[in-house]
Structure 1
Amino acid sequence: MAMNTQEGFPEKGTLRDQVLFALRYVVRAPSTHNSQPWLFHFNDSTLSIYADWSRMMKESDRDGRDLCISLGTCIEHSKTTFTHFGMLEKLSINESFEIGDTEPIATLTLHPSTDKDAFLFPFMQAIERRFNARGPFVKKMIPSDLMRTIIEVTEPGVTIQVITDDTQLLTFASLTGEGMRVAHRDPKFREELAKWMINNYSKKKDGIPGYTMLAPGLLSLILPTIIGKFNMGGLLSKLNYASISSSSGTIIFSSEERPSSWVHVGIAYARISLILNAYSVFTSVFVASIEMPEIRTHLKELLQIAGLPQFACVFGYPKITLRQSPRIPPEDRMI
């Protein structure tokens, strides 16, 4: 869907009209398997963000970490979007929720739009065109001022480590490959992944389209079956190794092992991703080394990571520009 932050906003509409328009940008937030595990409730001047626990991955996300990180990206997109449209009065995050709770994860107090925040316009443009990079990167240095900006990003309870050393980057690539091989040995993991994959002609608004995995049209029709029935871990680990090793660096996010901390990890990741995207630098998520407990321990030790790794991505200039994955319209996620 083509989007433009300068056109179509209902300046004279009701607050609800403005909220629904802004949510088109909020739901562009990245999520595990493009599962979009968020729900919204709007009442008077309050927008509440809830978890849709029915979208939690039973095999690859048994503790709910990835779902909570996805909620964090949604919250950061909410903060950026509603601030840009001059609507955000207050944002509160529930720091005590547990997996399966029915309380809101975050609450935003909003008011009718005032002047747009021009400073955030590049980040709104980044939301419009962001994608999870796949395939090789152009191996080149990131501008020093941009590197300084992402290194200085802070988020409560989250340790962020930016790694550009080639030896450490290759270590991360090797551990990611090992994690991929371990994960794909499990038929239940493969079956779950295959169920979330969709072909390039699908009308579904969630799931992983084949084109985001660099699969052309015809291959995308059979790729879910191939992934589900055959152990492709070896091939995928080699492809991921090549992608990671060609990137400009990796970012490891660490925190305590609890749901609200995972939400803050997602907030930090989304903020850094939007900063990079605004300068045509894109991120690619690789969490296989974190999802396998033994490999996660090796990752912490070998890269001397402070805290417990919860999420990881690489960044750089991708050789291939991908179109965005589909999204469920926000009005269909209102409760």
Structure 2
Amino acid sequence: MPNISLGIIGGGQLGSMLTVAAKKLGIKVIIYCDDTNGPAQNFCDEYICGSYDDHNKINEFVDKVDAVTFEFENIPFKTLDEINKTKPVLPKPSVNRIIQHRLAEKDFVNKLNIRTTRYATVDKKSDLESLGDLLPGILKTTTLGYDGKGQYPINSLEEIDSLNIDFTKDYILEKLVKLKKEISVIITRFGIYNYEIYEPIENKHEDQILKYSEIPADISQKILDQSKEWTIMLAEELKYIGTMCVEFFVDKNDNLFVNEIAPRVHNSGHLTINAFNISQFENHIRAVCKLEKIPLKKLSNAKMVNLIGEDILHYRQDPFLEKNQFFFDYLKKEVKKKRKMGHLTTLK
């Protein structure tokens, strides 16, 4: 058993699943989180609660661990950079600096000659009014925002006044793709051209929140090969260590576009827990803790459904499952509308 103490920043469902994977490998886990109710405290060895700019609490956390990773990308770069001066942070903080900012991320992807949708920066209302050729489009805050937060679908210039957009924030306007489907590719990079990559996953969203993920994805061989090739290119260019996800759009003409990079384990990869010999979570732990890389084997096709808001109540009350079904309750104390409360994976 490895004698390693791993620090994980963030105590939500991804932190919980990373913790479970680490414990399976005999690794001690200490969580740092700004939420007193973070569900990962149900699984870790120690849970430290504090803000992400509380230097004393952060130092207490860092002193107890050998290495640090994180469950979400919106941790202040300065915090990760300071930690990295004394303990290794993986993936490295410079990755987050790029991916936390949607404009920097899009520019980074395009410089590798990888296709994204057309986009432009928006600092004020008049910028938006001059970008009619990018409509219909989605206006997004350049930082923060997920699951549809900080995003405004805009079909025409006439809609702008009715949206109550806060122009004290910086935005990026992305032209809408004539969408055929959305896919994601998850990769765990251990070092230079040393990685394990999962097959593309087909995703369906409701209210801009992921609802279903399924393998195999119903895509052409061209899209399958190109999505994996681009994912590898991005991971190599970032010199990434750990698990990351690239989200893609496929348009009506079977063209592929990078939508976003998630520098962490990803919701669409929850099905890897049951459908593969090594999950995205275990692979991430293995990579950041410098453990053995085990060849990936697919065990089954699968479909995952997110249990959002009150969806969870049925399974908590009547958890009858078929033998090919696996229910995960994130143990969040408060059931909220549009909140991911758990998921159900069905092997096929």
More strand by share: 2
- In our comparison, the structure showing a higher alpha carbon Rg is 2
User: Which structure exhibits the higher relative contact order, with contacts defined as CA atoms closer than 8 Å and separated by 6 or more residues?
Assistant: 1
Question: TM-score range, shorter-chain basis?
Answer: under 0.3
What TM-score comes out, normalization by structure 1 length? 0.28
What TM-score comes out, normalization by structure 2 length? 0.27
